[in-house]
């Protein structure tokens, strides 16, 4: 009876249906009835068909960090403003600040190439689990298991792409129990087409980030270019706009409460099988440290950005990224505690234990799973500080990362002269990257970051996890790394001129006598020795195996349930409905916002709520064109679709596969959702497609872009 009760509870609270679930496209056949009941009118094959055009052919991975959708027969791609933010910033200057003012190409010739940005489209997904699993068994070591998986994955991808223009990769799911081969076309000629001013694309700024209600026009537009054969190619002036197999038609009918909605995209990472032990480490140790470090980074950058437009453009993208997850970690910690996620996890673990203990055969296979997980986290907690502080306070600072990139050269110069061919090759590689690096940083800002964050690192990472050399230098400067930075004023690497002089005559002694270089690279070595050392590695191996068995057991406990794997940047679909919600504090929220609400937030003295003059004029005249409903322009709406980071820019489609919005955020009350889906109030925040088209058409006057779209009747 206890087991039956658990099954019912587990199905509802841990892996729900309709609103919860990031499903691989080929899994949708198992969800057909649920999707139809929710309102879907398309067939499953119209959504995913590896042999014929389908919705999946219009869904793209933007740079491997966001999602976009093709919305015209000429390769026009819609995504979020924050996804295109860095590409926009790179093309902005103090004299032509398109980040602040917006940008709209009037023809193909004005579209701006974005070097390094790629767009990937999934051709098909193949199940290769049997091929890989038949070579695995419980008798091989974890190292042998990983080597076998890697070897077979490489073989499968090589066979798939040999002689073609395709790319492929094998991804693992359910902790390494299942494996799927993804075949892609990866396009390398991507150009910026349009973006609203930041006052529209980021309206609400950090104040409204992760919050509902929102009034943000979070969108930007790119175009895919291909060669004469409509295939991926490097940038070339004679490339042509890509002709997609399918592009999404656009609906101007808007949304109503309970309307069917689905998103398709590339969610980055969830951890919904995480145990109470992992949840406890995150809330008590890891996330508070990240918040502390990021808060200091934001303070330093903001001070210098406010003082200089040039510095503002240099750090705009970095600041936005740091800020986004600074607030995310604050919210997730708060909601994990508030929503009692740890208690829910313990309930699942208790039921799991009861199920395991019911049969001796289960005890043999799963009896040690939770103990192994607990033991692994005890060991991993010991290195939590160095892991978090190295990444957040050291490696993520641009100048530190640049110095660390010289470790290979440092090692070479110890035994070889500068004219050695291998050394020369390394120097040429460094020379190729130096201009871009020095253009991207402000020396004074980097020095401030170095001084403050190095002190934070030394104050929080245990002494016995720091090398003798680091501790000696630390003592030399009276246990204040800020004094080291101040005395050498950033070191050889902080000045382009001094760095270029070094490259002209690179010596081992020049690097060895730069205390800041030695400290930074030694911290990298400390990180490798501790976080990737044998003790930590053993704990991770134990944890990975235990997690895989935990997932395996949960799926056996409830064999009729439609499980979905954690997000891992693979193509997924979620479905649900347009819905309001009531927070766990009893506050009721509508399912949409309007221009009237946007204007009510206007504050000329707050950079987060400045309304562009032209937008305000259109509002005052109620000049919304065909994009209004009953005289009002909708801006954002919410659904109960299941998304996470990486889904930014995902299309929100109606029951016919028509575009109704662009997903860009989640709500504060459900910030714990990446670890435990909050079925009663987790929401996806979307830009209404009518607001997007209004900005393009009425605000920017770029009606030529509207003309190439397919507007559904």
Q: What is the pLDDT of residue 35?
A: 94
* Same domain as 241, residue 357: no
End-to-end CA distance of the chain: 54
601 and 643 both lie in a single domain: yes
CB atoms within 10 A of CB 661: 31
Q: What is the pLDDT of residue 138?
A: 85
Instruction: For residues 262 and 284, state if they share a domain.
Output: no
Looking at the structure, tell me whether residues 280 and 388 fall in a common domain.
yes
DSSP, res 591: S
Q: Which of 72, 648, 672, 676 is catalytic?
A: 648
Instruction: Check whether residue 518 and residue 413 sit in a common domain.
Output: yes
CATH (domain of 581): 2.40.10.120
Q: Pseudo-torsion of CA 627, 631, 635, 637, nearest 10°? A: -100
- Residue 214 CA, chain-centre distance (Å), reads 21
Question: One of 81, 82, 215, 246 is an active-site residue; which one?
Answer: 82
Q: How do residues 167-226 score in pLDDT, each as one tens digit?
A: 999 999 999 999 999 999 999 999 999 999 999 999 999 999 999 999 999 999 999 999
Residues forming beta bridges with residue 661, ordered by sequence position: 652, 688
Q: What is the pLDDT of residues 251-305, one digit of tens each?
A: 999 999 999 999 999 999 999 999 999 999 999 999 999 999 999 999 999 999 9
Answer yes or no: is 441 within a domain.
yes
User: Is 0.85 topped by the overall pTM?
Assistant: yes
Select from 534, 552, 585 the last residue of a domain. Answer: 534
Query: Residue 559 — very low, low, confident or very high, per pLDDT cuts 50/70/90?
Result: confident
Question: What does the pLDDT average to over 332-337?
Answer: 95
Tell me whether residue 692 is in a domain. yes
Cα–Cα distance between 134 and 399 in angstroms, integer?
47
CB 633 within 8 A of CB 687: no
Same domain? 359 vs 426: yes
- Given 534, 552, 580, which residue is the final one in a domain? 534
The question of whether 218 is a catalytic residue gets the answer: yes
- 108 in the same domain as 68: yes
> Residue 119: is it exposed, middle or buried by C-beta count within 10 angstroms (0-12/13-18/19+)?
buried
Q: Is there a domain that residue 440 lies in?
A: yes
Distance CA 518, CA 422 (A): 22
Give the pLDDT band (50/70/90) at residue 563.
confident
336 has a pLDDT exceeding 70: yes
Is 440 annotated as catalytic?
no
pLDDT, mean of residues 622-650: 96
| Count of CB atoms situated within 10 Å of the CB of 622 | 11
**Extended beta strands in 219-327, E state:** 220-226, 240-241, 260-265
Q: Are residues 320 and 458 in the same domain?
A: yes
- CA distance linking residue 49 with residue 246, whole number of Å: 11
pLDDT band for position 481 (50/70/90)?
confident
Q: Evaluate if residue 378 carries a pLDDT over 50.
A: yes
Of 86, 218, 259, 526, catalytic: 218
The answer to whether position 557 is within a domain reads no
Q: How confident is the model at residue 16 (pLDDT cuts 50, 70, 90)?
A: very low
Residue 415 has pLDDT above 90, yes or no: yes
Q: Which residue has the higher pLDDT, 647 or 139?
A: 647
Identify the pLDDT of residue 65: 96
Mean pLDDT of the chain: 94
Q: What is the pLDDT of residues 55-66, one digit of tens each?
A: 999 999 999 999
Q: Note whether residue 175 is domain-resident.
A: no
The residue range of the domain holding 395 is 276-534
| Residue range 126-177, pLDDT digits in tens | 999 999 999 998 889 989 999 999 999 999 999 999 999 999 999 999 999 9
| Helix, strand, coil share (%) of the chain residues, nearest 5 | 50, 15, 35
Residue 585's pLDDT band, with cuts at 50, 70 and 90, is confident
Q: What is the pLDDT of residue 4?
A: 32
Do 489 and 572 belong to one domain? no
224 and 281 fall within a common domain: no
Give yes or no: residues 597 and 664 share one domain: yes
Distance CA 150, CA 502 (A): 40
CA pair distance 104, 220, nearest whole angstrom = 10
124 within some domain: no
Cβ contacts of 491 within 8 Å, gap of 6 or more: 514, 515, 516, 517
Smallest CA-to-CA distance from 699 within 238, 199, 336 is with: 199
Q: What is the DSSP string of 43-92?
A: -HHHH--SSS--GGGGEEEETTTEEEEE-BTT-EEEE-HHHHHHHHHHT-
Number of domains in the chain: 2
Mean pLDDT score, 634-662:
97
Q: Is-catalytic flag, 308?
A: no
Of residues 209 and 476, the one with the higher pLDDT is 209
Q: What's the number of CA atoms in the CB half-sphere (13 Å) around residue 548?
A: 15
Specify which of 66-70, 435-439, 585-589 reaches the highest per-range mean pLDDT: 66-70
pLDDT above 60 (res 5): no
Of 30-34, 40-44, 250-254, 261-265, the least confident:
30-34
Together in a domain, 662 and 690 = yes
Q: Is the pLDDT of residue 10 over 80?
A: no
Average pLDDT (564-578) is 96
Domain membership flag for residue 389? yes
Rounded CA-CA distance 10/347 in Å is: 9
pLDDT digits (tens, 9 = 90+) for 229-243: 999 999 999 999 999
The answer to whether the CB of 186 falls within 8 A of the CB of 120 is yes
Rounded CA separation 133/149 (Å): 9
Residue 492: what pLDDT? 87
Whether residue 433 is contained in a domain is answered as: yes
Q: Which of 493, 510, 534 is the last residue of a domain?
A: 534
């Amino acid at each position: 009876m206890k087991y039956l009760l658990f099954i019912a509870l587990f199905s509802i609270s841990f892996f729900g249906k309709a609103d919860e679930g990031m499903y691989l496209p080929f899994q949708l056949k198992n969800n057909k009835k649920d999707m139809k009941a929710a309102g879907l009118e398309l067939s499953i094959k119209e959504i995913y068909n590896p042999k014929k055009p389908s919705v999946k052919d219009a869904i793209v991975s933007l740079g491997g960090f966001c999602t976009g959708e093709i919305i015209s027969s000429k390769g026009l791609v819609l995504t979020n403003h924050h996804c295109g933010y860095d590409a926009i910033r790179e093309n902005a200057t103090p004299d032509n600040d398109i980040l602040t003012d917006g940008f709209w190409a009037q023809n193909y010739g004005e579209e701006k190439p974005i070097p390094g940005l790629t767009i990937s489209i999934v051709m098909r997904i193949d199940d290769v689990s049997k091929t890989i699993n038949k070579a695995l068994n419980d008798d091989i070591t974890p190292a042998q298991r990983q080597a076998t998986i890697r070897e077979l994955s490489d073989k499968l991808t090589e066979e798939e792409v040999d002689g073609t223009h395709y790319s492929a990769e094998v991804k693992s799911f359910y902790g390494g129990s299942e494996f799927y081969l993804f075949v892609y076309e990866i396009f390398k000629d991507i150009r910026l087409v349009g973006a609203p001013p930041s006052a529209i694309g980021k309206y609400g700024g950090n104040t409204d980030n992760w919050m509902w209600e929102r009034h943000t026009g979070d969108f930007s537009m790119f175009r895919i270019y291909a060669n004469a054969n409509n295939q991926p190619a490097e940038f070339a002036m004679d490339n042509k706009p890509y002709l997609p197999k399918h592009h999404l038609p656009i609906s101007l009918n808007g949304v109503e409460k309970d309307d069917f909605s689905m998103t398709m995209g590339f969610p980055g990472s969830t951890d919904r099988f995480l145990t109470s032990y992992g949840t406890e480490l995150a809330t008590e140790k890891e996330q508070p440290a990240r918040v502390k470090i990021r808060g200091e980074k934001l303070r330093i950058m903001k001070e210098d950005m406010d003082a200089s437009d040039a510095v503002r453009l240099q750090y705009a993208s970095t600041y936005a990224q740091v800020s986004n997850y600074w607030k995310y970690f604050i919210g997730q910690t708060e909601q994990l505690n508030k929503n009692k996620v740890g208690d829910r996890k313990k309930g699942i673990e208790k039921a799991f234990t009861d199920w395991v203990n019911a049969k001796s055969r289960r005890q043999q296979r799963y009896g040690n799973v939770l103990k192994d997980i607990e033991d692994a986290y005890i060991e991993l907690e010991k290195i939590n500080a160095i892991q978090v502080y190295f990444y957040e306070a050291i490696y993520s600072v641009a100048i530190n990362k640049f110095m660390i990139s010289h470790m290979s050269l440092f090692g070479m110069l110890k035994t070889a002269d500068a004219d050695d061919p291998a050394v020369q090759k390394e120097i040429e590689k460094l020379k190729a990257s130096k201009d871009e690096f020095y253009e991207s940083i402000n020396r004074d800002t980097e020095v401030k970051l170095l001084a403050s964050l190095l002190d934070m690192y030394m104050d929080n990472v245990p002494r016995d996890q720091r090398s003798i050399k680091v501790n000696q230098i630390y003592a030399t400067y009276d246990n204040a790394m800020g004094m080291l930075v101040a005395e050498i004023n950033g070191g050889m690497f902080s000045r382009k001129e001094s760095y270029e002089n070094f490259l002209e005559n690179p010596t081992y002694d020049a690097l060895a006598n730069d205390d800041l270089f030695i400290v930074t690279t030694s911290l990298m070595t400390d990180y490798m020795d501790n976080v990737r050392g044998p003790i930590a590695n053993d704990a991770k191996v134990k944890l990975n195996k235990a997690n895989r068995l935990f997932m395996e057991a949960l799926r056996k406990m409830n064999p009729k349930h439609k499980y979905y794997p954690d997000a891992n940047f693979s193509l997924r679909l979620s479905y649900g409905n347009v819905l309001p919600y009531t927070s766990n504090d009893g506050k009721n929220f509508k399912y949409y916002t309007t221009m009237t609400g946007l204007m009510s937030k206007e504050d000329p003295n707050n950079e987060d709520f400045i309304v562009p003059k032209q937008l305000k004029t259109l509002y005052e005249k109620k000049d919304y064109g065909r994009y209004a409903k009953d005289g009002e322009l909708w801006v954002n709406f919410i659904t109960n679709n299941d998304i996470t980071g990486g889904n930014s820019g995902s299309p929100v489609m109606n029951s016919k596969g028509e575009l109704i919005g662009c997903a860009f955020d989640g709500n504060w009350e459900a910030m714990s959702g990446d670890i435990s889906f909050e079925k009663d109030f987790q929401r996806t925040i979307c830009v209404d497609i009518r607001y997007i088209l209004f900005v393009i058409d009425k605000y920017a006057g770029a009606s030529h872009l509207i003309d190439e779209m397919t507007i559904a009747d």
